[in-house]
Structure formats: C-alpha cells, structure tokens
Amino acid sequence: MSNPASQNQLEHRRLVKLAREYKEKGYDVILHPSSQDLPPALAKCPFGLIAEGNDRTIAVEVRTRETLTLNGSEDLRRMTDLVQQQPGWEFELVITNPRKKAS
C-alpha cells in the first residue's frame, strides 16, 4: 500500500509544474482555488488549479492512480458535468504516477 503523504506530494509537484506551464502559455493561474474564485455552481469542487485566459478557463484536477482508485470516479464525474455546464470552461484530469526506481 502506498503512503498517502507521498501521493499528495506527487500530486502537488505535478500541479506546480502544470501551473508553470499554463503561466508560460499566458494564463492566469490560481492554485487550490477557493469557493470565491469559482462560479457558484462550482464552489464545492476541489480543483487543484484553474487557469484563466484566451476566452476560456481550464479547471484541473491531478490524481495519482492510487488516489483515483481510492476516491472513486463519482466526484470526477460530478466535477466534469458541472464544468461542462459553465460557458467557456473546460475540465482537465491529469494522472501522475511515481517514477519507477531503477534496480
């Protein structure tokens, strides 16, 4: 069984890298947006980041294979449906996995 803290650290590192990539593309990025940063319909969605720019907003959630399985896909389905109802919004799910250690 994997260590949840290391999974969270892996997800956080991937989020920081994604934030940098979106900023380089000209987006304004908010890491771990609060409910005030989101439209009311999305206020309870725990997105890892939102990237705003180019007449669209991308809501991003990062998971590892383990947290994807642990949390199930129901919350992701709900977030996807809610985001699709917001004009100009897109949902992006990023799966990150630990690097295999060379033996």
> SS3 for 89?
strand
Look at the alpha carbons of 87, 90, 79, 33 in this order and tell me if their dihedral is positive or negative.
negative
Model pTM score: 0.84
Where exactly are the structural domains of the chain? Answer: 4-96
Architecture of domain 4-96: 3-Layer(aba) Sandwich (3.40)
Q: Long-range contacts made by residues 82-87, C-beta under 8 angstroms, separation at least 24?
A: 82/41, 82/42, 82/45, 83/42, 83/45, 83/59, 85/41, 86/39, 86/41, 86/42, 86/57
What does the pLDDT look like over 49-98, one tens digit per residue?
Answer: 999 998 999 999 998 877 776 666 788 888 999 999 999 999 999 988 76
Local structure of residue 30 (DSSP, 8 states): E
CB 94 within 8 A of CB 59: no
